[in-house]
């Protein structure tokens, strides 16, 4: 599976035709499961500047373990994988009741595979080779569908967050946010009324292998409260943070 030969490399990711960058959804943590080193690396390199935090695994067994143990907003799953194939990963994940959106990537372009994948609980399907712009559009659509919104803008009281343009507004004024502040606020707003644990927030902000300073999260939260208003984000002592259902 994967790249048939080197000349296909560019086609996979659409660099040849992309004259503009369509922004992804900041604050989204993606697990990429792909055993083809070249394709995996290309995807990771291409998705990260779009605002996704991308963790990459190369076999099905590790992927199943990671999805079972950690929070991801989205999984991109290849079907032909060592140790445990993608379809088995998908079935096992759904059998555990985990509803994380899963986009299947495969070169097996038969109708039957597509039907099997969707029956087994995949949310979408993309055939190799594909264009990066198309992948991005599918990822955005999946996230919107999962969160039940057709519009990507989030309104909360007088605060508006627009993940596509990466802009934030409060009382009709634009508020300039750093990348991680934006990611953090986005994740909290995507989960209004739910406590998000420190661990979940840190995992979304920083992928594996990145050093996290112990107070980094507090610093970002502090800045967000200062830029908007102090009551926006509540601390749940010893657990994490929450943005309450109704704007104060």
- Given the rule CB under 5 A, which of 22-30, 80-88, 200-208, 209-217 is the region that contacts Ca ion? 80-88
The least CB distance from residue 111 to Ca ion, in Å, is 20
DSSP 3-state assignment of 5? Answer: coil
Q: Are 30 and 146 in contact (CB under 8 A)?
A: no
Q: Is 129 in the site for Ca ion (CB under 5 A)?
A: no
Q: HSE (CB half, 13 Å, CA atoms) of 209? A: 5
The least CB distance from residue 139 to Ca ion, in Å, is 19
Q: Where are the alpha helices (DSSP H) in 108-175?
A: 111-119, 132-146
Q: Are 190 and 27 in contact (CB under 8 A)?
A: yes
- Given the rule CB under 5 A, which of 14-22, 45-53, 71-79, 220-228 is the region that contacts Ca ion? 71-79
DSSP 7: G
Q: Would you call 16 exposed, middle or buried from its count of C-beta atoms within 10 A (0-12, 13-18, 19+)?
A: exposed
The least CB distance from residue 207 to Ca ion, in Å, is 21
- Given the rule CB under 5 A, which of 74-82, 162-170, 210-218, 230-238 is the region that contacts Ca ion? 74-82
Q: How many residues bind Ca ion (CB under 5 A)?
A: 4
Q: Are 28 and 55 in contact (CB under 8 A)?
A: no
Nearest Cα neighbor of 224 from 173, 181, 180, 162 is: 181
The least CB distance from residue 234 to Ca ion, in Å, is 44
Nearest Cα neighbor of 3 from 46, 29, 30, 34 is: 34
Q: What is the footprint of Ca ion within residues 5-44 (CB under 5 A)?
A: 35
Nearest Cα neighbor of 73 from 22, 168, 140, 149 is: 140
Member of 23, 70, 80, 223 binding Ca ion (CB under 5 A): 80
Nearer to Ca ion, 28 or 77 (CB): 77
The least CB distance from residue 105 to Ca ion, in Å, is 8
The least CB distance from residue 67 to Ca ion, in Å, is 17
Nearer to Ca ion, 1 or 126 (CB): 1
Q: Is 78 in the site for Ca ion (CB under 5 A)?
A: yes
Member of 1, 66, 92, 247 binding Ca ion (CB under 5 A): 1
Residues within the interface to Ca ion (CB under 5 A): 1, 35, 78, 80
């Amino acid at each position: 599976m994967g790249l048939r030969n080197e000349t296909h490399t560019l086609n996979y990711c659409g660099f040849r035709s992309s004259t503009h960058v369509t922004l992804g959804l900041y604050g989204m943590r993606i697990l990429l499961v792909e055993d083809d080193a070249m394709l995996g690396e290309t995807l990771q390199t291409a998705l990260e500047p779009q605002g996704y935090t991308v963790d990459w695994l190369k076999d099905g067994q590790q992927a199943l373990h990671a999805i079972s143990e950690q929070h991801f907003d989205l999984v991109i799953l290849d079907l032909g994988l060592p140790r445990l194939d993608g379809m088995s990963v998908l079935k096992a994940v759904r059998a555990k009741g985990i509803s994380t959106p899963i986009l299947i990537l495969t070169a097996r372009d038969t109708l039957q595979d597509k039907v099997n994948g969707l029956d087994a609980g995949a949310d979408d399907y993309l055939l190799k080779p594909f264009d990066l712009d198309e992948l991005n559009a599918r990822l955005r659509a999946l996230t919107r569908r999962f969160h039940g919104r057709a519009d990507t803008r989030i309104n909360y009281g007088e605060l508006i967050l627009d993940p596509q343009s990466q802009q934030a507004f409060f009382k009709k004024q634009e508020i300039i946010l750093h990348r991680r502040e934006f990611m953090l606020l986005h994740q909290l707003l995507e989960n209004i009324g739910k406590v998000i644990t420190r661990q979940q927030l840190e995992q979304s902000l920083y992928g594996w292998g990145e050093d996290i300073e112990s107070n980094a999260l507090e610093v970002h939260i502090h800045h967000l409260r200062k830029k908007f208003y102090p009551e926006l984000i509540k601390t749940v002592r010893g657990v994490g943070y929450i943005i309450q259902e109704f704007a104060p």
